[in-house]
Structure 1
Amino acid sequence: MIANNPTEVNIFLLDGSLIDEEYFHTLEPQTTLILQKPGEKVLSDADILYDALRRVNIDFLAAGDKVTQFLTENLKAKVALLNKVLNKDDSKTVLSTKDEHPEWFQDLETNCTTKEAYMHRRCQDRIRTYLYKTIEQIRGSDVYMNDHKARQQLLRTIAFFKVQLKEDHYFGYYFDRSRAKTGNSRDDNDETDSSRCYEHCPCNFSHISYETYLRQRYLRLPQSSDTSTTDVDSTKIDETDARRLVEAEKNANDKISCIYRVKPSGKQIAICDEKGEFKCEGRWNVDGCAYGDRHRINPYKSREELALFSTWNLDHK
C-alpha cells in the first residue's frame, strides 16, 4: 500500500528507466513496474539478478568473467563468424506478420502484429529511455536543486523536448523498414502523414495545445487540491515561482507567448534499407566504419539478430 502523496512516487521499468504519465499509457498490459517512495533506492532487474547470483553461487560470476575474456580476445574475427552464422538463412527476412514468421515474435511481450510496428515501437522506447535518463540526471544536479531560476529554465527545456519529440513521433520510423528510401519517384510521398502511424505512436494520442503544455506540464502549476498542503518543499517553491513567472508574462503582454517553438515533423525516413538492414557509418569523428561491409545487421531476419540488435549502439549516426 502506498500512503505517500502520489506526486512523490516515481515509477520505473525493470531496466531502471523512469516513466511519466504519458509514457505509462503506452505500456503493454501486464508490464512489471517498480514504485519508488521518497528516500528509497531503486534496484533494476540486472541489479537483483547479480546480487542473487553472488549469494547463490560465485561460480556463475566466474563463468561470466571467462565469457568476457572470450569476447575481448580477437573480437573482430569472432563477430564476423557470428554474423556469418546468423546470416546463413535469410529466406524469412521479407516476411512481416506474426502469422507469417511466428518464431520471430516468440517471447516478445507485444501487441504488435508486424515486424515493422514492433521495430517502430522499440525505437521510440530507446529514444524515451535517453530522454528520461537525461531528465533524471538533470533533476539530481546541484544546479537544479539549488538554483530556482535555473530550475525554471530546465523545466521549460524538458517540456519542450517532450513536445518536440512527440511531434517527431519519437523517431520511431528510424527502425521501420516500411519508411526506407525506395529510390523511386515518390520523393515526397506521404512520409509526414501521421495517419500512416501505428496505434502506439503518440501522434494518435489526444493532447492539449503545445503552448498550454509548455506552460503547465513541467512548471507544475498548482491545482485546487494543492491549497490544502502546508509542507514547504522544493516542489512548492517551483509552483510559486512558475505562477509568478506566468503572471509577470501576463502583465507584460496580453497574449502569453512561448519562448520555444515546436518545429513541424520532417520526412519520416528509416535509417535501414527496404529489407531492414542497418549499416554502420563509423564513429562520429571518422568517415565510414573501420569494419567495412562486415559491420551490418538485419533485425528483421531472425529472432537471434533481433536480440543482437538490442546491443547495437547507434551513436555513430
Structure 2
Amino acid sequence: MKKGYKVTDVQREKKIGVAAENLEELILKSCKKLGFNVEGPGAGECRLFVAEDGTRVDDDDYLGTLPPQTLFILLKSTETMVTDFDFYYKMIRSTRKEFIDTGAAAHEFLSTDIKEKFKVFQRYIAANSDARTMLSERVQDPAWFQGLEPSEKTKEQSMSKRVKERMKGYYYKTKSALQSSELNISSKNSRGKKLIDQFLVDLRKILESNKYNESYFNRKADQHARLCNENGLFECGGLWSNDKCVYEGDHVINPYRSREERIIFQTWNLDHKIELSRAIIPNILKAIEGLHNGDIKCITCESSVKQGAVEADRYYLQIFTRKNLKLVHIVCHHKGRHDADSGVYTVCKKCSRSQSIEYNS
C-alpha cells in the first residue's frame, strides 16, 4: 500500500510530494521530481535521510515505521548531509538579526570551537521571550509547530513523538545487528534465526507495553517519569561516567520555549552508559548462542542447564530506559569506548516464571 511522503534536497529549496510503496520507488520518484538527472540503477547512488533528525533510511522495514507526510532529504552521491545545527543556525541568523550581530561578531562566533558555539548560541536563544513557553496547543503558539506534522496538536504530543522515534531507532539498530549476525544468516542455523526472531518479538512487546517511554520528554507526565521539570526545562546529565554535568548552568535547554530551541534539542543525545553496539548487542548474541548450543547459565539460580530463555527484560532496561540512558548536551556525549559492560542474561525455565522486573526508571 502506497503512502504519501514529502521530499526536499539538501538546500531545502524545493519540496515535493511523493506516493510510494517502498524505499526504491520513493528514491526513484524523488530523483525524477527533484531533477537529479539519475535514472534506473543510477538512482541507487542517492541516499534518503529523515529531515528532522538526520537518520538515514536504508531499508523498507524502517520506512514502514515512519508516518505519512514524513519529510525526507534526498542526497546525491557527491553531496554531504547538512546537520540541523548548521542549517538552522544559518536560517535563524538571517531572520533573527536582533539576536545575532553581523560582521566581526558573526566571524568570531563561527571561528570558535563547537563548545563555544553552543554556549553563545544558547545565550542568544535565551534572549527570546519566555511568554509562550507554557502555551501548549498549536493554535496558541503556531510558530513553535512550524515544520511539524498537522496531526501534532500540542507541544507535549510532539515531544512524546520525538522520544518514540529515538526508541524505535534503538530497536531497529538492535534488530539490524542481530539479523546481520552469522547466527542468523547461516543456512545451517535455522534454529538460531528463530531464536533471534523470538527475542526481537519479546523486546518489541515490552517496548510497546511501555508506550516507547514517551513520557521522558513530556513535561505534563508524572515527575518520576519525565526528564524535564514542569516547565519543560532539561538539564544535561554530564559524561557517561560522571554523576553530573561539569558545565552546571550552561548545559540546559527548554525545547518548549521556541521552535529554535526545539530544533537544537535534537542535537542532545540519550547516551547509553553501557554502549548499545559495543557491549549490549554482543552480549545478546552470546545469550542467544547459548540457547542455540544448549549451554545456559541461569543468572538467578546459577545452575547450568540446556534449556531456558533469554531474559529480554534486562536488555530492554539497558537499551530503552533511564537505568542506562542519560540525556546529555552534545559536548558531553563521549563517542569513545565506555568502560562499562553488559551481561549474558539467560534463565532456566523455573526461574523465568518467577522473574519480576520493574520497568519504571
159 and 13 in structure 1: CA distance in 2 versus 1, 3 angstrom threshold: farther
Alignment equivalent of 2:78, drawn from 26, 34, 51: 51
Equivalent residues in 2 for 1:13-52 (5 A)?
14=50, 15-17=55-57, 18=59, 20=61, 24=64, 27-31=66-70, 45=73, 48-49=75-76, 51-52=78-79
Q: In the alignment, what sits opposite 1:121?
A: 161
Q: In the alignment, what sits opposite 2:132?
A: 92
| Distance in 2 separating the partners of 1:20 and 1:110 | 24
AA matched with 2:252: R
Q: In the alignment, what sits opposite 2:87?
A: none
Q: In the alignment, what sits opposite 1:256?
A: none
| Distance in 1 separating the partners of 2:168 and 2:220 | 22
Alignment equivalent of 1:306, drawn from 253, 262, 265: 262
| Distance in 1 separating the partners of 2:244 and 2:160 | 26
305 and 19 in structure 1: CA distance in 2 versus 1, 3 angstrom threshold: farther
Task: Check conservation: 2:69, 2:149, Cα contact below 8 A.
Answer: no
Q: In the alignment, what sits opposite 1:157?
A: 199
| Distance in 1 separating the partners of 2:60 and 2:170 | 11
TM-score normalised according to structure 2 size: 0.49
Equivalent residues in 2 for 1:1-317 (5 A)?
14=50, 15-17=55-57, 18=59, 20=61, 24=64, 27-31=66-70, 45=73, 48-49=75-76, 51-52=78-79, 73-88=112-127, 89-146=129-186, 147-181=189-223, 269-315=225-271, 317=326
Query: Greater helix percent: which structure?
Result: 1
20 and 290 in structure 1: CA distance in 2 versus 1, 3 angstrom threshold: same
Kindly state the Cα deviation for residue 109 of structure 1 after the two structures are TM-superposed: 2.3
TM-score normalised according to structure 1 size: 0.55
Kindly state the Cα deviation for residue 19 of structure 1 after the two structures are TM-superposed: 6.1
Q: Deviations over 1:156-175 (max 9, x none)?
A: 11111110000010011101
Amino-acid identity (%): 32
Q: In the alignment, what sits opposite 1:38?
A: none
314 and 28 in structure 1: CA distance in 2 versus 1, 3 angstrom threshold: same
Q: Comparing both chains, which one has the higher relative contact order based on Cα–Cα distances under 8 Å and sequence gaps of 6 or more?
A: 1
Look up the SS of the partner of 1:30 in the other structure: coil
**Aligned-CA RMSD value:** 3.7
Q: Deviations over 1:153-192 (max 9, x none)?
A: 21111111110000010011101110142xxxxxxxxxxx
286 and 71 in structure 1: CA distance in 2 versus 1, 3 angstrom threshold: farther
| Structure 2: stretches of 5+ with no match in the other structure | 3-20, 27-47, 82-105, 272-324, 327-361
| Structure 1: stretches of 5+ with no match in the other structure | 34-44, 55-66, 182-266
| Distance in 2 separating the partners of 1:135 and 1:285 | 27
| Distance in 2 separating the partners of 1:19 and 1:115 | 29
Task: Check conservation: 1:180, 1:271, Cα contact below 8 A.
Answer: no
